[in-house]
């Protein structure tokens, strides 16, 4: 068992190196220059400021040295600092991940609340008008990108009713109702998008179960 674990770890090392190199390469190939981005806030910056900033960020080193430094820092949990806030990236992630997880949880709950009953109904009423409507809803939910519907949700209510969903994040401690209301609309949009996949899976599994012998026997009785 120990030999197997060691072998798997050794085989995982090339994969880890490739992933690190791919992420490093994507960052380097991204359009724009981080030095120019930071110096844009200072209209009086000159070449000396640029050289000093490149040295501070390690961009004056050879490509291979930059990759080694990047890999060692990542393996140690040091993701650097944000060029916008100047704060460590790990701290930025700590502040944002809880909100992201909460948003994902609400989206999943909404998708299950929509998809499970519709998927079960679609399977029970197979090849009826209810089934056709449910399957059409699933295809529509999968086809329309949620970022497109999110844009419509923001633009159209403002144009027609002078109203928009809440755009400023409210902490739970500042008001539970406002906090949940802030999450409701984006979670609803993503939940509807996810419900298409969940509904189709639910329908497929329900149909398989309904065709089992013990189910047919129960219906016959």
pLDDT in tens, the chain (221 residues): 677 787 887 877 888 888 888 888 887 777 767 777 777 777 677 777 777 777 777 777 888 888 888 888 888 877 777 767 777 888 888 888 888 999 999 999 999 999 999 999 888 888 888 888 988 888 888 888 878 887 887 777 777 877 777 777 888 888 888 888 888 888 888 888 889 889 999 998 888 887 877 777 777 76
Domain boundaries, the chain: 2-78, 92-220
pLDDT value, residue 94: 85
pLDDT of residue 221: 66
- For the chain, helix, strand, coil in percent to 5 are 75, 0, 20
28 contact partners, CB below 8 Å, separation of at least 6: none
pLDDT of residue 141: 84
State the pLDDT at residue 110: 93
Neighbours of 120 (CB within 10 A): 16
Q: What pLDDT sits at residue 112?
A: 93
Specify the pTM.
0.69
Q: Give the whole-angstrom CA distance, residue 139 versus residue 200.
A: 9
| Residue whose entry in the numeric block shows the structure tokens 């993503």 | 190
């Amino acid at each position: 068992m120990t030999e197997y674990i060691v072998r798997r770890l050794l085989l995982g090392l090339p994969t880890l190196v490739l992933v690190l190199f791919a992420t490093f390469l994507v960052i380097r190939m991204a359009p724009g220059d981080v030095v120019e981005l930071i110096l844009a806030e200072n209209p009086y910056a000159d070449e000396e400021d640029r050289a000093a900033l490149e040295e501070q960020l390690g961009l004056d080193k050879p490509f291979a040295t930059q990759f080694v430094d990047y890999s060692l820092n990542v393996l140690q949990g040091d993701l650097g600092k944000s060029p916008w806030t100047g704060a460590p990236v790990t701290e930025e992630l700590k502040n944002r991940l809880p909100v992201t997880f909460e948003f994902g949880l609400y989206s999943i709950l909404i998708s299950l609340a929509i998809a499970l009953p519709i998927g079960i109904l679609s399977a029970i009423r197979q090849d009826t008008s209810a089934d056709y409507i449910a399957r059409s809803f699933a295809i529509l939910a999968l086809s329309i990108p949620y970022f497109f519907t999110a844009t419509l949700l923001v633009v159209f209510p403002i144009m027609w009713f002078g109203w928009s969903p809440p755009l400023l994040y409210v902490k739970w401690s500042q008001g539970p109702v406002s906090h949940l209301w802030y999450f409701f609309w984006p979670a609803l949009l993503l939940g509807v998008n996810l419900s298409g996949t969940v509904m189709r899976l639910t329908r497929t599994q329900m149909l398989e179960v309904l065709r089992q012998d013990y189910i047919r026997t129960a219906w016959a009785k």
